[in-house]
Structures are given as structure tokens and as C-alpha cells.
Amino acid sequence: MVCFRELLSDYLTALFLNTLHSGLISLYLWSPMSLFITSLNSGSNGNCYYVGNDTEAVLVDAGLSCRETDKRMSRLGLSMEKVKALFISHEHSDHIRGVEVLAKKYRFPVYITDNTRISGKLKIDPLLVKTFEAYKPIVIGGLNIVPFKKLHDAVDPYSFTISGNGVNIGVYTDIGAPCEHLINNFKKCHAAFLEANYDSKMLDDGNYPYYLKKRISGGHGHLSNHQALHIFKTYRSPALSLLLLSHLSKNNNTPELAHELFMQHAENTHIVVASRYEETAVYEVTANPAAEIKVSILKTEQMSLF
Ligand SMILES: [Zn+2]
Ligand SMILES: [Zn+2]
């Protein structure tokens, strides 16, 4: 029989560890079976996604300035000290704007292919540059990162699935069309950042020039709401507890439209729109599909508490 005193002791130990690691009294219990994720920004004006366990984390893309990245991390109570590596998906400016300054300041390794680094004209200390290949996992502490190729109009574009503590997180934006790699990776996810870039009717009716409309929807641009919905409805795992709709177009989509569309098919999956103007909350994702999604540190609570 588990006695109350033991439970209390476990609770206090977890709280203590949590406090120790974050420097803050967070609003959640540390769980060995979870990962913490947030979008610092998502959209054509800048992308940066955080995935971490209790002691280490990685960033995918660095499309915000270093100063803005720091500001948003600290508003969420997340420490840059925990960030052990940066992964770059492709060379478009909304994914690399902050790379050089972040690497210089924090001296973490930057995982980037040679083609992307050269095409993006990035000057990074060679000691920090690490390359990667599709399906060759990279181990960063307790995190395992698997890159895979995607369809996008960049020189050498990749998506990433990040695993740790039995939890799989997908970071899937800037995708022209769903391919078997995307589908096979998405099927394993407990949570995913999935692009829902545009509403087809808004794009068709909008005033973008023809060539740009073709660039966006022509198979090497971005996923529409309905393409993303099809992936979600057809291939989600019963364990997918959180979907963050990402990289929404400013002109050809609205957060309300995308959210409403996905909510009609959400069932047990929590649907969140990752904003192009601010960070989302930090979400704790567990390997247990029945577990409730927990918002670990709400920004408002964070600010009022500290
Ligand atoms: Zn982008
Ligand atoms: Zn792009």
C-alpha cells in the first residue's frame, strides 16, 4: 500500500527538482514520461520551436532575432541554459534570421546541412557546425532527433521528429505536399506542430500574383488547411494528444478559420493555433494517451506570480 507520507515525499521531491532546474516554482509535477514543447513564433515572419525534457532541450529553427528569442524564452520561464542544440530545417529567412547571433552567444552546436548553410550565407563558427543526414538519428542527452526530407522550394529541406521519455514530437512546417516520410513520422506523434498555411478559397480569391499563388500551392510551397486536415484525420495516432496548427498565412488564413475546421474533427486531440505574433504556452506532452494535456506555465500566471 502506498502511504500518504510517501506520496507527499514524492511530490515535494518533484517540486524541489523542478524548482532547482527551472529556478522557478512551476505549476506542474515533474514527470519522467513527458516532454515540454512550445512555439516561440510560427509564420512567414519567423519560426522557432522548443522541445525539451527536464534537463535539456533543442530549438528547431531560429527565425526570431536572438534578443526576441531570449525575451520569449524568459517570459515562459524557460532557460536558454537547457538548450543544447539548434536544428535548421532550411535556408528561408524566417527560419535562420537569428542563427548567427544565437550560436555566437550560446555556443551550442548548430545542426545544418552544408547546402542549407551555404545557400543561407550563414557565418557560423566551424567548431559549432554539425551536419546531418536523413534518418540518421542525432542524440542530444535524453533527446533523439530524426531528420527526414520534405517537399519545399528550398535547396535541401528537412523536417524533424524529436523523441524522449517515450514521447514523439513532430515539427512539420514548410511542406509543399504530404509525402510518405511525413505520413510515417506523423503517425508516431504524441504531439505535432503541423503546417496549416492557407485556406484555398482565400488564396484563390486573394490578390497575390498568379506566380505566387502557384508557388504556395504548387506542391513545393505550403500545406493548405485541408491538406493538413486530411493528414490529421487519416493518419493520427490514438496517442496524438496535441496538435499545434503552424505557419499560418497572414493574408490567406485566419486562426479562427483553421481552429474551427480542426475542432470539428478534434475528438481527443487538443487543438492550438501557434501564433505568428507571440509564443504559445508551454505544453507538457505525456506518452500516456489518456493523460490530460497540461499547460505547464501559463504566461499570465507566470507574470502574476513572478
Ligand atoms: Zn517558413
Ligand atoms: Zn520555407
Q: Report whether pLDDT(295) > 50.
A: yes
Q: Which amino acid is at 297?
A: I
The lowest-confidence range among 19-23, 173-177, 222-226, 262-266 is 19-23
Considering every ligand atom, which ligand is closest to the CA of 197?
Answer: 1
Q: Report whether pLDDT(100) > 90.
A: yes
Considering every ligand atom, which ligand is closest to the CA of 157?
Answer: 2
CB atoms within 10 A of CB 139: 9
Give the residue-averaged pLDDT of 15-36: 51
Considering every ligand atom, which ligand is closest to the CA of 92?
Answer: 2
Q: Residue 2 Cα, ligand 1 centroid: separation in angstroms?
A: 50
pLDDT of residue 296: 61
Q: Report whether pLDDT(135) > 50.
A: yes
Give the residue-averaged pLDDT of 232-260: 97
Give the residue-averaged pLDDT of 212-231: 97
* Mean confidence (pLDDT) of the chain: 89
Considering every ligand atom, which ligand is closest to the CA of 154?
Answer: 2
Q: Report whether pLDDT(26) > 90.
A: no
Q: Residue 245 Cα, ligand 1 centroid: separation in angstroms?
A: 13
Q: Which CATH class is domain 33-305?
A: alpha beta
Q: Report whether pLDDT(256) > 80.
A: yes
The long-range contacts involving 157-163, CB below 8 angstroms and separated by at least 24 positions, are 157/89, 157/90, 157/116, 158/89, 158/90, 158/113, 158/132, 158/134, 159/89, 159/185, 160/60, 160/87, 160/89, 161/185, 161/188, 161/189, 162/35, 162/51, 162/58, 162/60
The lowest-confidence range among 24-33, 131-140, 202-211 is 24-33
Give the residue-averaged pLDDT of 61-89: 97
Domain residue limits, the chain: 33-305
- Whose CA is closest to 49, among 69, 23, 71, 65? 69
pLDDT band at 191 (very low <50, low <70, confident <90, very high): very high
